[in-house]
Amino acid sequence: STSTDAGAAYVFVRSGGVWTQQQKLIASDGSFADQFGESISISGDTLVVGAIEDDDHGDKSGSAYVFMRSGGLWTEQHKITAYDAAAGDLFGLSVSISGDTLVVGAMGDDHQGNSGGSAYVYTRNIDTWLVQQKLLASDGYEGDSFGVSVAISEETVVVGAQFGNDPDTGAIYVYVRNGSVWSEQQRLIASDGGSGDNFGFGVAISGDTIVGGSYRNDGKGSVYVYQEGRLCTKQGQCICKPGYGGADCGTEL
């Protein structure tokens, strides 16, 4: 971090099996406790870093910074804030990029009630990032924390809501893009979910496989794997090793 504790991100590259630091990234306008580096995602030569306590639009409204690499040097290309940003949104808590599409989670957004949450999809046009759509849960409710996690793979986005689905067991929402429109395809819930499991706190997607983390499941955490057919169906559950109670397995994927 800088002297103002704004935060930082470090880029490492591998050569001959050895990882070496390529560059330290900081925000051009970083200020005290911005928490730059809260979330990160990379695709090719584009890197995105979230700063959830950036206060451009109020305390903890949040932002995301886009960096581009050219000739081994990373430079800040763009700073993104929500078009309807407000204090406490925590925009940038989660970020995910694939090619020219970027998703940013804002679990504190109050669009569907206090901390109901949202996610924003952006697309790149040359060097400019433009908002394509704001995603909301079809059954969203206050306190769901929709947007605590996001992930994208090609034309599919998944968004976690750790307190969604009564009684706060958590849920994951799947969105598919047709043209330039994103539509909710399915809501995933854990078949054995219990109150406070925090299913959806972590999400990941690759092709037709989705993984959801549930770090409070049975007191030690687990991850669930879903495979896409016509709709996503649960394929398997991976339980963390016995004896690791409280280890918060499934917080990040």
- Domain positions in the chain are 9-239
- Closest C-alpha among 205, 112, 100 to residue 160: 205
Q: Which residue has 């549930």 as its token pair?
A: 214
Other Cβ atoms closer than 10 A to 10: 11
Where does 99-221 show beta strands of DSSP type E? 101-106, 118-125, 128-135, 146-153, 156-161, 171-178, 181-188, 199-206, 209-214
Q: What is the mean pLDDT of residues 180-191?
A: 94
Q: What is the pLDDT of residue 3?
A: 45
- Closest C-alpha among 158, 177, 42, 57 to residue 108: 57
The answer to whether 164 touches 200, Cβ cutoff 8 Å, is yes
Per residue in 205-243, pLDDT tens? 999 999 998 876 766 788 899 988 645 555 555 444 444
Tokens of 90: 């925590």
How many Å apart are CA 87 and CA 199, to the nearest integer?
26
Q: Is pLDDT at 246 greater than 70 in this prediction?
A: no
CA distances to 44, 84, 173 from 190, rounded to whole Å, are 33, 32, 12
Q: What is the pLDDT of residue 242?
A: 45
Per residue in 62-118, pLDDT tens? 999 999 999 999 999 999 999 999 999 999 999 999 999 999 999 999 999 999 999
Total residues belonging to the chain: 253
Write out the CATH class of domain 9-239: mainly beta
Q: What is the pLDDT of residue 243?
A: 43
